[in-house]
Structures are given as structure tokens and as C-alpha cells.
Chain A
């Protein structure tokens, strides 16, 4: 979440970063949910992810999320030079979200031997409505969600790793 205008996403203007943290096996930001939280109609190019009151962490910003609260030093060599991001401690929050993938914009069958994944993938339209709540703060995204807010979204039926071959 950012204090800049809608469409912006500068880490230096970020004030909330909700995620479930990396697990001990380094799986990135994944958390098990009820099976019925996800409904997929791949042949219809549709899917929906709905979760209510999921316990997450607010790391304040991406830098603190990825550094586990260390923040970042200033980078005077960057163009333009970037300021330091102070370390932050995560706080508990709850988020609810309803994400919909719907409508094909492009499609591709991919077999990537280097990354060992293959499958059918759709670039789709997508919308999200979501809310967050934590001590002292709550947020609600615009309703109805703006379909033009989607920059890129993908729906796929894939196999990777040992299922690649």
C-alpha cells in the first residue's frame, strides 16, 4: 500500500506490506487455504480466489519483508540516489480478498526445459477487491474493482519439477 497516486508502487512511498512470510523451506508467500477457497474453470478461462480474515503480517514495505526487518541502506550510487529504508518490525493483520480471473487476452502452450515447467497458460483480465484490518488502521479497496487496474494476470494448468517429464 502506497501513499503515491493510484498506479504508483514505489517502495519509498510504501506504508503497508501484507504477506504470509517465507516459510522455513523458502517457499515464497504461500499459505494453505481451504480447498473451496479456489474455484477454477480453466476451459472457461475463469478462476476465483476468495479468503476471509486471513492472518498475515504487515512488514510495512517490501524491503523489510525481504530483509526480515532489516530495512535497506541508502544507495547514493543509484540514479536518482535512494534514501535508506529503516528497519521495521512486523505486526499482525487480517486481510480478506476476492480475486477473479476472467476472459482470455492471450494464450500459450509452454514447455520450458530450463525451468522444467510446461502447460497451458492464459493471460486474462482480472479484478481484486480486498480489505485489511490491524490495530489502528483499516483499508478497503475501491468497489466495484476497476478492471483497468489489471497490469497482467495469468491462469495456467501446469506441471513442473518431477511432473515435468
Chain B
């Protein structure tokens, strides 16, 4: 058993090394493995469409072949999700959500829902993400919802920071100056979870 706060979770031993948040794996992993997210369903659907419409075209691109290669690889891994490796590569359903009544005995894995809005990333190969990146050129009064979760009432923080640091090759000890961009943040407050119930939670945006 592993504990988080006053709550206790039974965790399959095989998953303990995979996560800093073992509660998340304890209940929800069975419902997650092998289940493509809506994003992946979108990609899979798009892939099917591409294959249906372009396989016989002269311009059939190497990327589409690459897509097929990686989709097959991912599907293979999802199919083998009973293994520790597969489980570790998938994104489990996660939550440390307390009931609104503060019942500390409940350790349900209940997550929030995404904001309906967001942006298309990676133009022109647009992939919709439920996130509004901060834009330094925008006036404060014109910002989009900085929260990633909907049905939410609480505090939210978001950053857009570019800095530097040192990367180290662990094998050789060679050090390299590197740049980074940190789009990070948090949400802390109450939310309506995917179970339709109200919860409290603290989430990091990483």
C-alpha cells in the first residue's frame, strides 16, 4: 500500500516504479489501457481518411507512410498494455480529487474535463489542443481562458518563460549550454469531474 495524505491506495506492485503518483494507477489503469484518447482517435480517423483518399495518388507522401509505421507501433504497444512497459508509456487517468464533503476515505480517480476551447497547434498540420497559450502581445484584458480544465472555480497560474541552463551527458560528463521554454502552471480549486460530481483538486500544468 502507498499513501497520499490521509488516503490509502492499493497499488499493483508492477506499477509502483512507473509513477510518482501511485494512487492514479491503483484504480483507473484498467479503464485506460488500450483506450485511445480523443486526440489519438482524431489522428487515427485522420489517418484512415488520408489512406482512403490518397493511397493511390502520385503524391502519397513519406509522412503518411511514417504515420502508418508509428500508428502500427503505437497500436502494438497499446495492445500489449498488460505489460509494465506498455502501461508506463500510456497516460493513466489521474486525480487526487477530494469529495466536496471532505470524505477522506474516498480515493476515487476522478479527473476534470477539458475547456471546450483551445487552439490549433502545428499549423498547417493543425492538431486541436484544449489550451490557450499565453501571448505576450495581447493586452491583459483580452487574454483567453488560461485554465485547461472546465467547470472550474479556483486559482489558476500560467507562465511563458524562456531561459537557459546546462545539460550534461551522463555518460561522458560533457556539458552543453541549452535554452528552454517553460509553459507551466497550476489549477487549484473545485471542479465538476468526469463523474458529474463536484471535487476539489490541485493540478500542475506540465
Interface string of B145-166 (1 = CB under 8 A from A): 1111111111111111111111
Report which A residues bind B (CB closer than 8 A): 1-9, 15, 18-35, 37-38, 40, 42, 47, 49, 51, 53-56, 62-63, 66-75, 77-78, 84, 86-87, 89-90, 92, 94-95, 97, 99, 101, 106-108, 110, 112, 115, 117, 121, 123, 126-128, 130, 135-142, 145-146, 149-163
Q: How far is the CA of A70 from the CA of B65 in the complex (A)?
A: 10
Given contacts A22-B37, A24-B37, A161-B151, contact A141 B165 (CB under 8 A): yes
> Nearest CB to that of B96 among chain A residues?
A32
Contact indicator B74/A163 (Cβ below 8 Å): no
Q: How far is the CA of A55 from the CA of B87 in the complex (A)?
A: 13
Using Cβ atoms and an 8 Å threshold, which residues of chain A touch B130? 26-28
Contact indicator B145/A115 (Cβ below 8 Å): yes
Q: What is the total number of residues of chain B having a CB less than 8 Å from a CB of chain A?
A: 104
Distance from B169 Cβ to chain A, minimum over Cβ atoms (Å):
7
Distance from A130 Cβ to chain B, minimum over Cβ atoms (Å):
7
Distance from A40 Cβ to chain B, minimum over Cβ atoms (Å):
5
Contact indicator B159/A75 (Cβ below 8 Å): no
Q: How far is the CA of A52 from the CA of B106 in the complex (A)?
A: 25
Using Cβ atoms and an 8 Å threshold, which residues of chain B touch A26? 37-39, 114, 130
Contact indicator A30/B63 (Cβ below 8 Å): no
Using Cβ atoms and an 8 Å threshold, which residues of chain A touch B194? 25
Q: How far is the CA of A122 from the CA of B91 in the complex (A)?
A: 32
